[in-house]
Amino acid sequence: MKKLMTAISAASIVAFLLTPLLSFTTLKDPAPAFSKWEKLGERKVNFKADRDEIGVGRFEGFFDALQVKVKRGPINMFKMVVHFHNGETKEIELRNNFAAGSESRVIDLPGNKRVIDKVVFWYETKGFADSKAIVELWGRH
């Protein structure tokens, strides 16, 4: 009887320790756990400029999507051009008036995960308020 009680106690302890580990395998959508967004850089928009670029570089890693976020002030963003490490470029039409605090759609990059050298933004600030916008570039690993 004592051996039976010891076996039951051991089984209870093992079940108690394994339950939290097994609960992680029941996630409905495990993909978001593997998607990591990283801020790649930002630029304060100059009212005189109509073009800015954010350098990224190969040490930042590989990315499969980008997103633009605008803070502090509005901006009319025409397009962005992504320059990849292999020399290719991808022009992405945005044609969007971004309000302060808004963001672009998630922009999937062509091909598999890619190394980005830089992203060039083309925009206009004429007719907007005095607040200089801050454009942030985010990349998804």
Residue type, 56: V
In a domain, 47, yes or no: yes
Q: pTM for this structure? A: 0.71
In a domain, 17, yes or no: no
Residue 140, pLDDT > 60, answer: yes
Domain count, the chain: 1
In a domain, 22, yes or no: no
Q: Provide the residue range defining the domain that includes 83.
A: 36-140
Q: What would the pLDDT profile of 98-128 be if each residue is shown by its tens digit?
A: 999 999 999 999 887 889 999 999 998 766 6
- pLDDT at res. 43: 93
CA distance 80 to 135: 12
Output the domain CATH number for residue 56: 2.60.120.260
Mean pLDDT of 90-98: 91
In a domain, 85, yes or no: yes
Q: What would the pLDDT profile of 21-67 be if each residue is shown by its tens digit?
A: 334 333 333 444 567 999 999 999 877 668 999 999 888 889 999 99
Distances (CA, A) of 25 to 18, 21, 32, 58: 12, 8, 14, 34
In a domain, 11, yes or no: no
In a domain, 13, yes or no: no
